Amino acid sequence: MHIAFVLYPGMTALDLVGPSQVLCCHPAVEAHYVAGTPDPVRTDSGLVIQPTTTFAELTAPEVLVVPGGGGWRRALDDTALVDYIATAHPAATWTTSVCSGSTLLAKAGILTGKRATTHWAVRDVLVELGAELSTDRVVFDGNVVTAAGVSAGIDMGFALAAAIWDEPTAQQFQLGLEYDPQPPFDTGSPEKAPAEMVAAIRAAVRAA
């Protein structure tokens, strides 16, 4: 199974690495880290990722994973990136996104009239681009799967593994990765965090 993990400048590494780590537990997966050119891609944290192939070389992956990140707004104007997503989607068994990556799916015309989720700070953008907003952590609508902000990509990876293979397989992956979240704080959603913290994070995400 060929899975394309899409790379672009300013993406968030965990958006991609989370689902990659989960899905690549299966021996049938052949992971491809695909970008517009073979040049290294710098993420929003400064981590540099080396593409293994390009958009032109991998046109029909079976699974497409599109991350979000600090560069999400600039990425919406990246014609080559958006065109690749739009072109790869029809042949894909599953098209997925993490965080603000769903805005790229929407820009590519994939989410029109579909339920989708995204990072809470850009929910309005997703609606403006034609999606039907859901605030769930992981959303399936046909063969399109979207995950909420950053860490939700890990949850999406397990949910997608269950859909591709079966629940016992996904559960085995979860155990092997010891995914048993016990966060030290309870500020992981805008409904739980202080208002001033929510405002600060929203401003930072929207200014990216």
Alpha carbon distance 57, 38 (integer Å) = 11
Is residue 99 part of the annotated active site? The answer reads yes
- Rg from Cα positions in the chain: 16
Alpha carbon distance 112, 105 (integer Å) = 9
Are the beta carbons of 184 and 172 closer than 8 angstroms? no
| Catalytic one of 75, 99, 129, 154 | 99
Catalytic residues: 99
